[in-house]
Amino acid sequence: MNPNKELWEKGDFSTLAATMRGSSDALVDELGIAPGMKVLDLACGDGATALPMARRGAEMLGIDIARNLVAAAQARVAAEGLTNCRTIVGDACDLSHLPDDGFDLVVSIFGAMFAPCRAEVARSMVRVTQPGGRIVTGNWIRVDPAMVAQILKLLSDYGPPPPEGFVPPTMWGIEANVLDRFGQAGVPPEAIAVEPPSASSTETGGPPPWPNGSRPASAP
Ligand SMILES: C[S@@+](CC[C@H](N)C(=O)[O-])C[C@H]1O[C@@H](n2cnc3c(N)ncnc32)[C@H](O)[C@@H]1O
Residue nearest to atom 14 of ligand 1 (CA): 43
Question: Which DSSP state fits 64?
Answer: E
What is the predicted pLDDT for the residue at 2?
A: 84
Ligand 1 centroid to residue 193 C-alpha, Å: 23
Give the Å distance between the CA of 167 and the centre of ligand 1.
16
- Residue 169's pLDDT is what? 86
pLDDT of residue 195: 86
Which structural domains are found in the chain, ordered by start? 3-218 (3.40.50.150)
Which one has a higher pLDDT value, 20 or 53? 53
pTM score, whole prediction: 0.88
User: Quick one: which of 98, 124, 116 has its CA closest to 186?
Assistant: 124
Q: What is the pLDDT of residues 173-216, one digit of tens each?
A: 889 999 999 999 999 999 999 987 654 434 443 333 333 333 34
pLDDT band at 73 (very low <50, low <70, confident <90, very high): very high
Q: What is the pLDDT of residues 16-37, one digit of tens each?
A: 888 888 889 999 999 999 999 9
pLDDT (tens digit per residue) in 32-51: 999 999 999 999 999 999 99
What residues does ligand 1 touch, defined as CB less than 6 Å away? 4, 8, 13, 17, 43-45, 48-49, 64-66, 69, 91-93, 109-111, 114-115
CB within 8 Å of 40: residues ≥ 6 apart: 61, 62, 63, 98, 102, 103, 105, 106, 107, 128
Nearest to 40 by CA among 105, 124, 99, 131: 105
115-142 pLDDT, tens digit each: 989 899 999 999 999 999 999 999 988 7
Ligand 1 pocket mutation, candidates 1, 8, 12, criterion most atoms within 8 A of CB? 8
